[in-house]
Amino acid sequence: MNRDSLFPTYAPPELQFSHGKGSWLTDTSGRQYLDFIAGISVNTLGHAHPDLVEALHAQAQKIWHLSNMFDVPGQAELARRYCELTFADRVFFTNSGAESIECALKSARKFHAEQGHPERIDIIGFEGAFHGRTYATVNAAGNPKYLEGFGPRLPGYKQAPFGDMDSLRAMTDEHTAAILIEPVQGEGGLRPAPISYLEALRELCDAQGILLIYDEVQCGAGRTGQLFAHQWSERAAPDLMATAKGVGGGFPLGMCLATADVARHMVPGTHGTTYGGNPLAVAVGTAVLDHLTAPGFLENVRERSAQLHGKLNRLKMKYPDLVAEVRGKGLLAGFKLGSGLNTAMRDRLRENGLLAGVAGDNTVRLAPPLNVSAAEIEQAIAIIDGALESLQRVRVAAAGSSQ
Ligand SMILES: *Cc1c(COP(=O)(O)O)cnc(C)c1O
């Protein structure tokens, strides 16, 4: 495939998929792959789910696009349903995760400005965080790799060590606007924040008049077995939350959710988007939410999660020299390998018919569709087992020959 006319930002393998069904993708040679990365935690119901196809087709016959200058059919109702299911009172629809974070950052600063504190602009994030690729979101995450070469860093962004309350407390002051955290770090290496840590953040924010922002772009939409990951506790609700990826099931859709107190300042003229929450996105997003809230759906996620984590832990015991740790929460899972081995493992898994991803800290990332079956998890584990075994054989042989 000749990619010379594309920005060289991506370097995909020599592989072309022609269609998908459920947890499976088929390439142009007819070979089938078990998809355990699902567009990076996006294809909530797998590929070509009939209800999503139907929702998109039905809407496509009516209206594709209006822009938000008119009431978008279904948008207010989808927002109402999400508000009923969460801490939120109001929703702003977007096309992506980064845009949802941007809305949260602007809303947080606007809130303080309207309270008479325009000096409260600092957003405290965490090391290892990922919030997207726009200029504000790379500054918010602070990963030097994603900032280098793009000019000066923006003022008003700081990073605290992940999960360390004392250093975070020392960082907050009268300039702090908000704390921004992923309840489960995805890109950073599938690190869940303990739920007690989120509760402690809520308390700290309440005590100091700071807003709490969650980035549930990757860990939301049912991925951990709750609709949103922070909902494992009733005492960890944020003031603002960004989500995207899974809520659209593969159609670009994101949301910034907020309390009434915060959202009320985002009046006409303060913010906007042309495509965000357009009729096609809302139609698909509504069908996704119908599934997420259907009886038994999240129970299946929890059961499959227990199965997946149980099996991964067994592999860790079987290959103690290779698998350093099993990571993640729910169906956002992974395992940590020795330095530099995660990309080799991902490639080997693909050669053996399993699509996985990588994440920071030498982890292999697994994020299957949420309606994955028990049998498909067994198949994936068998492929991972085989790949670990062959990696171990190579290592033993290398150790033998070096003696
Ligand atoms: C993917 C991701 C984003 C960015 O989402 P885009 O849709 O790529 O802009 C932000 N935060 C987290 C946690 C993500 O995983």
Residue 339 clears pLDDT 90, i.e. is over it: no
Question: What is the average pLDDT score of the chain?
Answer: 96
**If you measure from the C-alpha of residue 235 to the centroid of ligand 1, how many angstroms do you get, rounded to a whole number?**
25
How many DSSP H helices and E strands does the chain contain?
A: 13, 17
CA distance 206 to 212: 9
What is the number of the ligand 1 atom nearest to the C-alpha of 218?
Answer: 15
Which residues sit with their C-beta closer than 6 Å to ligand 1? 96-98, 101, 130-132, 182, 186-187, 215, 217-218, 244-245
**If you measure from the C-alpha of residue 319 to the centroid of ligand 1, how many angstroms do you get, rounded to a whole number?**
32
> Residue 228: its pLDDT value, please?
98
pLDDT digits (tens, 9 = 90+) for 231-266: 999 999 999 999 999 999 999 999 999 999 999 999
**If you measure from the C-alpha of residue 213 to the centroid of ligand 1, how many angstroms do you get, rounded to a whole number?**
14
Please compute the mean of the pLDDT values over residues 289-302 and round it to a whole number: 98
Q: Which of 227, 234, 193, 224 is nearest to 306 (CA)?
A: 224
Residue 397 clears pLDDT 70, i.e. is over it: yes
pLDDT digits (tens, 9 = 90+) for 161-182: 998 899 999 999 999 999 999 9
**If you measure from the C-alpha of residue 183 to the centroid of ligand 1, how many angstroms do you get, rounded to a whole number?**
13
With cut-offs at 50, 70 and 90, classify the pLDDT of residue 394. confident
Sheet of 24-27, strand order: 17-21, 24-27, 32-35, 354-355
**If you measure from the C-alpha of residue 187 to the centroid of ligand 1, how many angstroms do you get, rounded to a whole number?**
9
Residue 398 clears pLDDT 90, i.e. is over it: no
pLDDT digits (tens, 9 = 90+) for 21-30: 999 999 999 9
pLDDT digits (tens, 9 = 90+) for 91-143: 999 999 999 999 999 999 999 999 999 999 999 999 999 999 999 999 999 99
245 is catalytic: yes
Q: Which of 155, 262, 170, 152 is nearest to 214 (CA)?
A: 262
In the DSSP assignment, the letter for residue 258 is: E
Give Cα separations from 208 to 131, 252, 352 (angstroms): 24, 36, 52
Residue 400 clears pLDDT 80, i.e. is over it: no
For the chain, the distance separating the N- and C-terminal CA atoms, rounded to the nearest angstrom, is 43
Q: Is residue 222 left, alpha or beta, with left meaning phi > 0 and alpha meaning psi from -120 to 50?
A: left
Q: Is the dihedral of CA 242, 245, 247, 251 positive or negative?
A: positive
For ligand 1, mutation pick of 37, 94, 187, 332 (most atoms within 8 Å of CB):
187
Q: What is the DSSP string of 33-75?
A: EEESSHHHHT-TT-BS-HHHHHHHHHHHTT-S---TTSPPTTH
Looking at per-residue confidence, does 227 or 392 come out higher? 227
Contact 296, 159 (CB under 8 A): no
Nearest 5 degrees, angle CA 53-CA 59-CA 61? 105
> Residue 340: its pLDDT value, please?
82
CA distance 241 to 226: 15
Q: Which of 139, 138, 141 is nearest to 127 (CA)?
A: 141
What is the number of the ligand 1 atom nearest to the C-alpha of 216?
Answer: 13
pTM for this entry: 0.97
Contact 85, 79 (CB under 8 A): no
CA distance 374 to 259: 38
> Residue 403: its pLDDT value, please?
56
Residue nearest to atom 5 of ligand 1 (CA): 97
With cut-offs at 50, 70 and 90, classify the pLDDT of residue 338. confident
- Enumerate residues 6+ apart whose C-beta is below 8 A from 315: 323, 335, 381, 384, 385, 388
What is the number of the ligand 1 atom nearest to the C-alpha of 185?
Answer: 13
> Residue 238: its pLDDT value, please?
98
> Residue 303: its pLDDT value, please?
98
With cut-offs at 50, 70 and 90, classify the pLDDT of residue 402. low
> Residue 32: its pLDDT value, please?
98
What is the number of the ligand 1 atom nearest to the C-alpha of 182?
Answer: 13
130 is catalytic: yes
Task: State the amino acid at position 346 in one-letter form.
Answer: R
Please compute the mean of the pLDDT values over residues 287-309 and round it to a whole number: 98
94 phi and psi angles, rounded to 5 deg? -135, -175
Residue 365 clears pLDDT 90, i.e. is over it: yes
173 is catalytic: no
Q: Which of 76, 125, 118, 359 is nearest to 242 (CA)?
A: 125
* Per annotation, catalytic residue among 130, 162, 228, 335: 130
Residue nearest to atom 6 of ligand 1 (CA): 97
Reading the block at residue 67, the tokens are 């822009």
pLDDT digits (tens, 9 = 90+) for 172-226: 999 999 999 999 999 999 999 999 999 999 999 999 999 999 999 999 999 999 9
CA distance 185 to 211: 19
* Per annotation, catalytic residue among 215, 228, 311, 336: 215
Question: Which CB contacts under 8 angstroms, 24+ apart, belong to 86-89?
Answer: 86/227, 86/228, 86/231, 86/241, 86/257, 87/237, 87/238, 87/241, 87/257, 87/259, 88/241, 88/257, 88/258, 88/259, 89/258, 89/259, 89/260, 89/263
